[in-house]
Amino acid sequence: MSHYLTTIGLEIHLRLLTKTKAFCGCSNCFGGEPNTFVCPVCLGFPGSLPVLNSQYLRYAIKVALALSSNVSGMMKFDRKNYFYPDLPKNYQISQYDMPLSLGGYVDIISDNKPKRIAITRVHMEEDAGKLVHNKRALSSYVDFNRTGTPLLEIVSEPDISSPEEAYRYLIAIKSIIEYLDVSDCNMEEGSLRCDANISIRPKSQKELGVKVELKNMNSFKGVRDALIYEEKRQAKALSADEPIAQQTRLWNEEKQVSEPMRTKEEAHDYRYFPDPDLPTVSIDATLIEEISSELPEMPEQKKERFIRDCGLSKYDASVLVSDKVMACFFECCIKLYPKPKMIVNWLTGDILKYLNANNIEFNSVKTTPQRLISMFELMDNKTISGKMAKEVLHEMLATGDSADDIVKKKGLLQISDKSVIEKLADDIINENPKVADDYLSGKTNALGFLVGQLMKKSKGRADPQLANSAIKKGLGKKRP
Amino acid sequence: MEEFVKYTASQLKKKIAQDNLAASDIASSVADRYDKVEDKVKGFAHFDKTLLSERAKELDKKGCAGNLSKIPVVIKDNICVKDELTTCSSKILAGFKPPYDATVVTKLKQAGALLLGKSNMDEFAFGSSCETSCYAPTNNPYDLEKIPGGSSGGSAALVAADETVLALGSDTGGSIRQPASLCGVVGIKPTYGRVSRYGLIAFGSSLDQIGPVAKDVTDCAGLLNIISGYDPMDSTSADMPVPDYTGSLIANIKGLRIGIPKEYNPGSITGPIIDEAAPVNETGIKIREAVDMLKDLGAQFVDISLPHTKYAVSVYYIVGCSEASSNLARFDGVEYGYRQKQPGSLLDMYKKTRGEGFGAEAKRRIILGTYTLSSGYYDAYYLKAQKVRNLIKQDFEDAFSRCDIILTPTSPETAWPKGLKTKDPLSMYLSDIFTIPANLAGIPALSLPCGYDSNGLPIGLQFMAKHFDEEALIRAAYTYEQNAGWQKVRPKL
Amino acid sequence: MTIKKDAIRYAAGLARISLTRQEEELFAEQLNHILAYMEQLNKLDTENIEPMSRAGSTGNILREDMVKSPLSNDDALKNAPEKEEGFFRVPKIIE
């Protein structure tokens, strides 16, 4: 990408975890039998009217404040008019020119440097229903359970200059939202959705290139992959002097390519106008103060505290706070075992490696802070070696068993009995007379080989320090 | 059989108590009257005798002691009644039976009312003559060749024809008051927010209100008591206490300040376009007589000005059609109502369903409203109209600093022959010139009879008052009615 | 401002209404008549006037976040012109 500059903007749709839908008392549930969480209001039956859910407003304000966005004193709802079968009224209640909040930002690390991504606006809108397509059937099927569930749309400025930055921005947003407990941010389940706008232009060119909209990404990784693919595709086109069409493209996860949308795109004319069924909403300073005071410690603040109070590196602290559950796990650990650096090394090292390799979220980790600390204590009292500990941890993460049980079950107790080890050392020396002779004739690196053989014979259970001295002692006996 | 439906609600209540009448007795009287005159009037969109007699039996079994116990009430066909046909007199809602009651219907049921059926209307309330109904047009009980007014023409005609005692209508730009005026009955458009709109199939959401239609002011006040009040299901309903409107049935208006807009000078009202030089018509004469009587009764008349009123029709059709184009988007053949089932794409299904399901006037207004909201025209039409709407509202605020109520004719003319204005939509629109401003400003207004023209057709008088001052309307109207006595005139059918 | 037949077609398309040729012509003529009347609004200077999009304004009307019982699937689908296994059915959509 050396000749081109990339410009990316993201639109995130976040489903908020209120008990009921945005404008009616239907349960805000996921899934269920089709058309069972519905009422005249969310079905858009004639004569029905929307009434705003107070908790939806509170959650929305919470998110806006956490993103440092300026909450408006007065907001209104507008109708976005378009026909689609998943939209029962054939308009969506959204916000147009007086949204919930304007401005805001998220800080990320890009190329090891901090970067601030500006947010344009945060607005409230209702979700649409779901269409079910059956390849063989001649019809499509509509389920309105999701219709009217409360969404927040977070629109970024086109400040993002690489797919990796887009990925980090998403992670940062997710970690902020998770701290607020207002959404589960699960992209695979659709509670967080992300569309991207991307354009590239030659470095020498001032004005932005042709914008392409990307949709249908189902994971954070998918967003990054789609942007990488699109960046390359556009660069190739530009290099070959081919024009780039302004269009919407769908990410095909299976084929790992973006494809233009098949349906003919109409010029959008949404005919936004103020929804006469919903009065304007005034948000006074008292309410904003009340909600601000309820905000928990945010990742950025937590990170600062970890660096200051636990002496963690900036990098380690960032990794920890990027996942609310992991940060909480860490805080539980340091209360039990005051060695923060050791804890963070294991957390961000072996534990994360295991979880990532097995595609497990931290909140489904099978072990507990208490159990991890028990394992540390087994290391401290030499019951297990550091090397064995890695094996034990792996087992703990796989089964959820305690370190004690695993050690006992697998017979992994460290051999610290001097006489047992010395017996083993004598055996090894006798089995390798040539190596022993080499050592005695001055080739000191032969010692390592013999210790290694001993460890192998003990299946790694021998205390390494004892093994070392036992070999030396045994060889000493051979010295003429 | 005694024709109980000829009584007013207050009279019938006494009769029911005196003679210990059952709901079934009243239902039979309704059915009897229906058989006699409905062929001439055609006021009902949906009426089912069997259903009516079942409902009456149920009422008798339950024994309801509510304020409207056993009183016959007709509901306009754009107000939802659970499990009963609610079609807005449109083909596109053919067969629709809502799974819920409108809030006003719940209130009527709680009050023990005997619901008769649904009254005919202009399709989706688009019209002033009841001629755009997908059913047969309703006829004016005073002259069956003439229109009853609209859009609540069915409600007004059924009350006038003694086919019901009370009726509910809805009023977006005069749809209660104009047919009340043309049929010689009383109708109120309450303040926007006074009555819940939940369950009223929307035309213009910022303009619509449900209101009573009755034979006299007393019944209107009683019915308004029942249907008024805050509803948590309607964000635009007002969370304010509701007075007892029957407390305003006082025949005394000494000192009441009545404003006459100079732009509507009743001495020179000639028709749709106000022209002070034009000769006085019969409506103008009757209005002037009413003014004289009110003066004698102690009212104080003041000159006021509503300078932006001449823009009201333009503003109303832009705002109303814009809102309607969005409100009526939901009628697409997916969840309810008519669907064109020929094989084809989704787009074909939408277009044909809506092309065939809506009548000409509905299509015209949806297209107009879509156009006035569309990209490039929003500012010139919709936004401009909303600004002028504010000016119209301010006109009223200024006027009400000088008077308590405003008096105008309800309609510039009496009932016209069927078919006269159907070819020229604008002329139809202009017939609402006196009623539209109240909807734009959100203020309450009432129409009551103030005489008859030389052909025996009723003429109506309109009172308008400040927001939430229905009491002033009722008091002025009651005083006039008690002295003028026009409510005693009935059509000969 | 006059409305051309193209504009009628465009608005009818947005509104998903099929019109016959006669309807197109008739509506163009009638809407031109109506829009010509509405021209009167342009005589008025509304530079500093706030638009009024709602008739009532009485503070925030909000709802408690409490679950109410939904419609049964039968009631939801009772009026549907086409339905199948708890779903509303529409002509096949190609994405």
List the CATH number of the domain containing C31.
1.10.20
Domain count, chain C: 1
In chain B, which residues have their Cβ closer than 8 Å to the Cβ of A52? Answer: 235
Q: Chain C neighbours among A 196-225 (CB < 8 Å)?
A: none
**CB-nearest partner of B100 from A40, A52, A91:** A40
Tens-of-pLDDT digits for all 493 residues of chain B?
A: 788 999 999 999 999 999 999 999 999 999 999 999 999 999 999 999 999 999 999 999 988 789 999 999 999 999 999 999 999 999 999 999 999 999 999 999 999 999 999 999 999 999 999 999 999 999 999 999 999 999 999 999 999 999 999 999 999 999 999 999 999 999 999 999 999 999 999 999 999 999 999 999 999 999 999 999 999 999 999 999 999 999 999 999 999 999 999 887 544 333 333 444 455 688 888 998 999 999 999 999 999 999 999 999 999 999 999 999 999 999 999 999 999 999 899 999 999 999 999 999 999 999 999 999 999 999 999 999 999 999 999 999 999 999 999 999 999 999 999 999 998 888 888 889 999 999 999 999 999 999 999 999 999 999 999 999 999 999 999 999 999 999 999 999 9
Please tell me chain A's helix, strand, coil percentages from 3-state DSSP, rounded to the nearest 5. 40, 20, 40
**Mean per-residue pLDDT over chain C, rounded:** 90
Write out residues 260-319 of A within 8 Å (CB-CB) of C.
261-263, 269, 271, 273-274, 276, 279-282
Residue A473 sits at φ, ψ, to 5 deg, of: -65, -45
- Cβ contact B232–A88 (<8 Å): no
C6 at the A interface (CB within 8 A)? no
Long-range contacts of range A212-215, CB-CB < 8 Å, 24 or more positions apart? A212/A244, A212/A245, A212/A246, A212/A247, A212/A248, A212/A249, A213/A247, A213/A248, A213/A249, A214/A248, A214/A249, A214/A250, A214/A251, A214/A258, A215/A248, A215/A249, A215/A250, A215/A251, A215/A261
- What's the Cα-to-Cα distance from B480 to each of A339, B281, B289, rounded to whole Å? 91, 22, 11
Q: Which residue of C has its CA nearest to A271?
A: C14
Full domain range(s) for residue C32? 5-43
In a mutagenesis test of the C interface, which of A76, A80, A139 is the best target, namely the one with the most C β-carbons within 10 Å?
A: A139
DSSP notation for B39-79:
HHH--EEEE-HHHHHHHHHHHHHHT--STTTT-EEEEETTB
- pLDDT given for residue B272 in this prediction: 34
C-alpha to C-alpha distance for B210 and B216, rounded to whole angstroms:
18
Question: pLDDT higher for A133 or A20?
Answer: A20
- Mean per-residue pLDDT for C56-72? 88
In this structure, what token pair is assigned to residue A258? Answer: 């973006």
What residue has token string 């008091």? B475
Q: Is A161 helix (H, G, I), strand (E, B) or coil?
A: coil
Give percent above pLDDT 70 in chain C: 95
User: Model-level pTM?
Assistant: 0.88
**Which pLDDT score, from 0 to 100, does residue C61 have?**
85
Instruction: Please answer yes or no on whether B198 and A49 come within 8 Å at the CB atom.
Output: yes
Say what the pLDDT of residue A16 is: 97
The tens digit of pLDDT for each residue in A237-264 reads 999 999 999 989 999 999 999 999 865 5
More confident call, A147 vs A262: A147
Residue % of chain A over a pLDDT of 70: 98
Task: Show me where the domains of chain A are located.
Answer: 4-287, 296-410, 418-478
Cβ of A142 within 8 Å of Cβ of C88? The answer is yes
Helix (H), strand (E) at residue A79: strand A78-81
Q: Which helix (H) or strand (E) holds B393?
A: helix B384-399
**The pLDDT of residue A263:** 59
* Model pLDDT, residue A264: 55
* Chain C interface includes B203 (CB < 8 A): no
Q: Does B382 touch chain A (CB under 8 A)?
A: yes
What is the ipTM for the molecules in this complex? Answer: 0.96
Share the mean pLDDT of chain A.
Answer: 91
How many of the other CB atoms lie within 10 Å of CB of B74? 28
Alpha helices in chain C (DSSP H): 5-14, 21-38, 73-77
Question: What is the structure's pLDDT at B264?
Answer: 76
Q: Active-site residue numbers of B? A: 76, 151, 175
Output the six-digit token pair for A224. Answer: 């990054």
B78, B206, B378 member nearest A276 (Cβ)? B206
How far apart are alpha carbons A23 and A72 in whole angstroms? 20
Q: d(Cα B398, Cα A195) in Å, to the nearest integer?
A: 51
Q: Which residue from A180, A169, A186, A151 is spatially nearest to A65, judged by alpha carbons?
A: A180
Q: Nearest-CA distance from A208 to chain C in Å? A: 29
Distance from CA of C31 to the nearest CA of A (A): 19
- Residue A171 and residue A117 in contact, taking contact as beta carbons nearer than 8 Å: no
Chains that touch A (3 or more CB pairs under 8 A): B, C
CB contact under 8 A, C63 and A25: yes
Per the domain annotation, does C10 fall within a domain? Answer: yes
Strand bridging mode A192-202 / A139-143: unpaired
Question: Which residue has 């942007």 as its token pair?
Answer: A227
Q: Which of B387, B389, B391, B436 would you mutate first to test chain C, the one with the most C CBs within 10 A?
A: B387
Assign a CATH topology to domain A418-478. Answer: Arc Repressor Mutant, subunit A (1.10.10)
Question: What structural domains and CATH numbers belong to chain B?
Answer: 4-248 (3.90.1300.10)
**Residue of higher predicted confidence among A95 and A263:** A95
Highest mean pLDDT among A207-221, A444-458, C56-70: A207-221
Encoding tokens for residue A71?
């909450």
Cis peptide before A161 (omega within 30 of 0): no
The answer to whether residue C35 sits within a structural domain is: yes
Q: Are A279 and C57 in contact (CB under 8 A)?
A: yes
Judge contact between B197 and B205, C-beta under 8 A: yes
Asked whether C58 and B467 are in contact (CB, 8 A), the reply is no
Residues of A in contact with B80 (CB under 8 A): 46-47
Which amino acid, A444? T
Question: Residues of A with CB below 8 A from B96's CB?
Answer: 46
Q: What is the pLDDT of residue A74?
A: 94
Report the first-to-last Cα separation within chain A, whole angstroms: 69
Query: Rounded to the nearest 5 degrees, what angle is found at the Cα of B292, between the Cα atoms of B289 and B293?
Result: 90
Residue appearing with tokens 């050690």: A407
